Amino acid sequence: MTTIIIDQPLSWRDIAAVSEGAGLTLSDAARDRIANARTLVEAIVEKNIRGYGINTGVGALCDVIIDRTQQQKLSRNIVMSHACGVGDPLGRVETRSIMAAMVNTYAHGRSGVRVEVVELLCAMLKHDCIPVVRSRGSVGYLAHAACIALVMIGCGHALLGGEKVGGAEALALIGHEPLVLQAKEGLSLVNGTACATGLACVGLARMARLADWGDVAAAMSYENLGNQAGTFDDETLSMRQSTGLLEVGGTLRSLLAGSPLLAKIAGRRTQDPLSLRAVPQIHGAVRDNFSHVADVVDRELASVTDNPAVSGTAAAPAVHSQAHAVGAAIALAMDNLAVAASLLGAVSERRIDRLVNPLVSGLPAFLTADSGTCTGFQVVQCTAASLAADNRRLAAPASLDGGITAALQEDILTHATPASLKLLTILRNVEEILAIELLSAAQAYDLQSRLMHSATATTAVWRQIRERVPTYADDRPISDDIDAMRALMSGCVRAVREEQPGGR
């Protein structure tokens, strides 16, 4: 198992790696920062300096002073009362991503939790001890993180080795005892933007993979349908200033290089339809948006988002009650990426329609050689249209949902975690749409004349598809084929392209 040593702030790629199973451990410098911040909290307690959630209540109870003898109880009670999520649990990957982002937050040395709190999170990641985290019921971050904290104090439930066990038993099985939370630790365990940011990292990883598969699907559809000469020439595309556009254009040229099929029909049209000729402009804009969002997420990971944060020295500690836990930046970024992902799915659905429509494809109706007896891909195009429509509804901005909580103390909400969760749902839909396009394009190749060979790169993908999914003849539920295609898409598209070179 790969282990990432956290010294400087993690990147979104680091968090994504941990979400998939990499370990996480603290460097000596990170451990020292965490320990130093703990001495500041202890000094704040000793000197009776008022600090939100340290010696006061939280939310609308922020002006209620908590006696020193009750501060441990406050920390535990915060975890218990905030563990109020509902709905089905998050998956393993999503939960690990949140835990990794929590570790990243504490490693800044501004939170004031003890080193053993952070090391327990690292141990849980190492042993794949996954708290059961209810997925719904958060306007920001509190409920999800509290489910993780429950296990750390020996409550709640966790999945370990595929079995659901109680929190205390799970800790015992990995060689740890439940924590007794000290002043501020309860608040720090449920606070900050770690939930939204961790989930955002998962979204970025999935989006990066789907963007690559989207380019491949578009190339295969274009090879079957397009015949405008020079559509993706570098000279033409370089007239527009877009890093993403130029990247996609280069990818398409590479995928379609030496295609006898395109060479035979090139130039028959003055212009191809937009869903075909505008792939660099649309997919490129999606990639540009992705780059912006990735920068936002990396900045979030490099930021202190706990409230309050601590600074100063043990002799002169300072506590900063601020609003860095508000996830407006992540919420807006996730809303933006949700729209971009939805667009990637929408243009894919339009290409699917062209592949199956005999009025424009020049191919047998609905990609079946036995039209009439067989329905072929007629209805699975409806599935793609439904998923694209679902994404249009989901792409409405979560960041504008607003709301008022905590008796007017929290009178504006940006819904960062719901925005991240919504993106993950959209990405699942996009993955299924692209799977349908890839299956449709593979079927279209099967129906082309044997003299019309495809490019080397697209042929490699076609062969990989056909190893898992035979040509469709209304002889099985096509939904199973979609699942098989999604399994292939779980890997890197470049590996699939390079595995089996050669003409079809």
Q: What is the DSSP string of 164-217?
A: EEEHHHHHHHTT-------TTHHHHHH-SSHHHHHHHHHHHHHHHHHHHHHHHH
pLDDT surpassing 60 at residue 425: yes
d(CA 364, CA 370): 9
Q: What is the pTM of this model?
A: 0.94
Structural domains for the chain: 3-191 (1.10.275.10), 200-499 (1.20.200.10)
Mean pLDDT, residues 319-334 taken together = 90
Cα distances (Å, whole numbers) of residue 139 to 186, 350, 403: 19, 35, 9
d(CA 145, CA 425): 20
> In the structure, what pLDDT confidence band is assigned to residue 143 with cuts at 50, 70 and 90?
confident
Cα distances (Å, whole numbers) of residue 425 to 207, 346, 392, 432: 12, 15, 12, 11
- The runs of H, that is alpha helices, within 269-411 are 274-277, 279-301, 328-356, 358-361, 378-394
> In the structure, what pLDDT confidence band is assigned to residue 140 with cuts at 50, 70 and 90?
low
| Farthest CA pair distance, the chain | 85
pLDDT surpassing 60 at residue 23: yes
Give the active site residues.
52
> In the structure, what pLDDT confidence band is assigned to residue 502 with cuts at 50, 70 and 90?
very low
pLDDT tens for 242-294 read 999 999 999 999 999 999 999 988 888 889 999 999 999 999 999 999 999 99
d(CA 352, CA 313): 63
pLDDT reported for residue 53: 83
Q: 56: which strand partners?
A: 65
Contact 474, 423 (CB under 8 A): no
pLDDT surpassing 90 at residue 5: yes
Mean pLDDT score of the chain: 92
